[in-house]
A and B are shown apart, each in its own frame.
Chain A
Amino acid sequence: MTDITTGRRSLRRRRLPGILLLVVALAGAACSRSDDNADNATANGAADEGGASGEPIRIGVPGAFSGPSGPLGEAVERGLELKANEINEAGGLLDGRPIELVYRDHEANPDKGITNMRELLEREQVVALVGETSSGVALAEAPIVNQAGIPWVITVSTGTLVTEQPDPNAVYRVSLVDKDQTEVALAAATEQYDDIALLTDTSGYGQGGLTDLLAAMEEQGIEPVANETYAVGDTDMTPQVSSIQASGADVIINWGLGPEAAQIRRAMDQVGLNIPMIGSWGLSMPNYMELAGELAEGTFVVQAFSFDQDDPQVAEVRGAYEAEFGTDRVSFPNGVANSYDGLGLLAAAIEEAGSTDPEAITEALGTVSYDGLIKDYQQPWADSREALGSDDMFLTVIEQGDFVRVEG
Chain B
Amino acid sequence: MLQVLASGVALGSIYALVALGFSMTWVTTQTLNFAQGELVMVGAFVGLVLHVDRGWPLLAAALASIVIVALLAVVIQQVAVAPFAKGVTSIGWILSTVAVSIMLRNLGELAWGREARRFPSPVGESLVETVGIRLQPQQLLIMAALVVIVGLLSVFLGRSLWGKALEAVAQNRDAAALAGIPPAVIAALAYAISGGLAAAAGILLAPVTFVSAHMGLSLVIKSFAVAVVAGLASFRGIVLAGIAFGMAEALVARYLGPEYRDIFGLVLIVAVLAVRPTGIFGIRKVVKV
Report which A residues bind B (CB closer than 8 A): 2-13, 15-20, 22-24, 26-27, 30-31, 33, 37, 66-68, 70-71, 202, 228-231, 233-236, 238-240, 242-243, 258-259, 262-263, 266-267, 269-272, 287, 290-291, 293
List A contacts of B228 (CB < 8 A).
Answer: 16, 20
How far is B222's CA from A235's CA once the two chains are assembled, in angstroms? 14
Interface size class on chain B is 35 or more
Residue on A nearest B1 in the bound complex, by CB: A242
A26 near B221 (CB under 8 angstroms)? no
List A contacts of B221 (CB < 8 A).
Answer: 27
B98 near A291 (CB under 8 angstroms)? no
B259 near A229 (CB under 8 angstroms)? yes
B 246-289 to A, binary, CB cutoff 8 A, 1 in contact else 0: 00001001100011011000100110010001110111110000
New A-B contacts (19) at CB < 8 Å, excluding given A9-B233, A11-B232, A266-B136: A5-B158, A6-B234, A6-B235, A11-B233, A11-B279, A18-B91, A22-B94, A27-B220, A30-B102, A33-B102, A68-B114, A71-B115, A228-B258, A229-B258, A230-B258, A236-B11, A259-B116, A270-B134, A287-B115
**CB-defined A-B contacts under 8 Å, sample of 11:** A5-B154, A10-B278, A11-B231, A19-B91, A22-B95, A33-B102, A71-B115, A242-B3, A263-B209, A269-B127, A271-B134
Residue on A nearest B31 in the bound complex, by CB: A19
A26 near B116 (CB under 8 angstroms)? no
B3 near A9 (CB under 8 angstroms)? no
Check A20/B278 contact, CB under 8 A, given A30-B98, A242-B4.
Answer: no
List B contacts of A31 (CB < 8 A).
Answer: 217
List B contacts of A262 (CB < 8 A).
Answer: 210
A11 near B26 (CB under 8 angstroms)? yes
Q: Which chain B residues in 1-39 approach chain A with CB under 8 Å?
A: 1, 3-4, 7-8, 11, 23, 26-27, 30, 32, 34
Residue on B nearest A236 in the bound complex, by CB: B7
Residue on B nearest A31 in the bound complex, by CB: B217
B 167-189 to A, binary, CB cutoff 8 A, 1 in contact else 0: 10011000000000000000000
B236 near A4 (CB under 8 angstroms)? no
B231 near A10 (CB under 8 angstroms)? yes
A37 near B27 (CB under 8 angstroms)? no
How far is B8's CA from A238's CA once the two chains are assembled, in angstroms? 9
List A contacts of B101 (CB < 8 A).
Answer: 30
Report which B residues bind A (CB closer than 8 A): 1, 3-4, 7-8, 11, 23, 26-27, 30, 32, 34, 88, 91, 94-95, 98, 101-102, 105-106, 114-118, 125, 127, 134-136, 154, 157-158, 166-167, 170-171, 208-210, 212, 214-215, 217-218, 220-221, 224, 228, 231-237, 250, 253-254, 258-259, 261-262, 266, 269-270, 273, 277-279, 281-285
How far is B250's CA from A203's CA once the two chains are assembled, in angstroms? 21
